[in-house]
Amino acid sequence: MRQAAASALAGAYRSRFRGRGVDFLESRNYQPGDDIRNMDWRVTARTGKAHTKIFQEERERPVLIVLDASPSLYFGTRARLKSVAAGHMAAAIAWAAIKRGDRIGGFLFAPGRHRELRPAGGRRGAMRMIQGLVDWIEPGQTDSVGNEPLSIALERVRHAVRPGSLVIVISDFFGMDETCNRHLSRLRQHNDVIGCQVLDAAEYRLPEGRYPISDGQNAAILDMAHRESRNRYDAMSSRHIDQPRRMFQKHQCGWLVLHTDDDPVDVLGRELRVLVGRPA
């Protein structure tokens, strides 16, 4: 991760924030306005040109979890619902963040509902985040049909997040639209961004059979005994899995996948080392 942090408090993350600090970073040519107290006299004497010292500070980093609780996440055929798996991952991230001395916050969204939890540090910050997750993903909380575009949530996050934050978007990305491109690009300019797609095994492939399906208003039968139906389902599944990943990677965002039968802590330790160690 190479984005500059702008948090005002000291903590466990090293950043490219440049100012007076603890660790010497480099010397460069003196520029008008540089603090004369940071002059590098040895390099100045050796080169005959004025040089100043640049320092790298350790900074506490805001970690913002953007959690989707749209109706499509209230589904699961392995171990747990996608909404529950998403909540478990968010809780694991919260504990990992405060362990490193960071502040944890959240932006929770569903059709017609949004809730912002401002970043806070320590055990109290993690517990507040977890209680917010419990309240937000409790079954029966969502009564809207369909998904709200993810772009609406990303736009809100983009205007609310402080530069230098780590933003982790947890969703199944059924609500992703083309407008997300612009918001991801803007968000990525001043923050590190990671997408976490929550998937169930049935979203990859269904065994042969006849399955009653409904969108809450209309009902139909999905007949997977026919080759044409299987091919259409496989093509739809492939698009849904590939398109969000490509969009995030296009903007140099991180990417990981969480399945409903995964252990979120294992996935976090394997894929999100940025939260448990110091980025290079």
- 215-234 tens-digit pLDDT: 778 898 888 888 888 899 99
Tell me which of 231 and 141 has the higher pLDDT: 231
Q: What's the CA gap between 105 and 196, in Å, rounded?
A: 17
- 95-131 tens-digit pLDDT: 999 888 899 999 999 888 899 999 998 899 999 999 9
Residue range(s) occupied by CATH 3.40.50.410 in the chain: 62-275
Average per-residue pLDDT for the chain:
84
Residue whose structure tokens are 């991760």: 1
Please enumerate in sequence order all residues whose Cβ is within 8 A of that of 103, keeping only pairs 6 or more positions apart, or say none. Answer: 7, 9, 60, 61, 62, 63, 97, 119, 120, 121, 125
Question: Is 194 buried (19+), middle (13-18) or exposed (0-12) by CB count in 10 A?
Answer: buried
Q: Beta strand pairing status for 192-199 and 103-110?
A: unpaired
pLDDT category at 146 given cuts 50, 70, 90 is: low
At the topology level, CATH places domain 62-275 in Rossmann fold (3.40.50)
Determine the pLDDT at residue 238. 93
Q: Which of 100, 94, 29, 36 is nearest to 65 (CA)?
A: 94
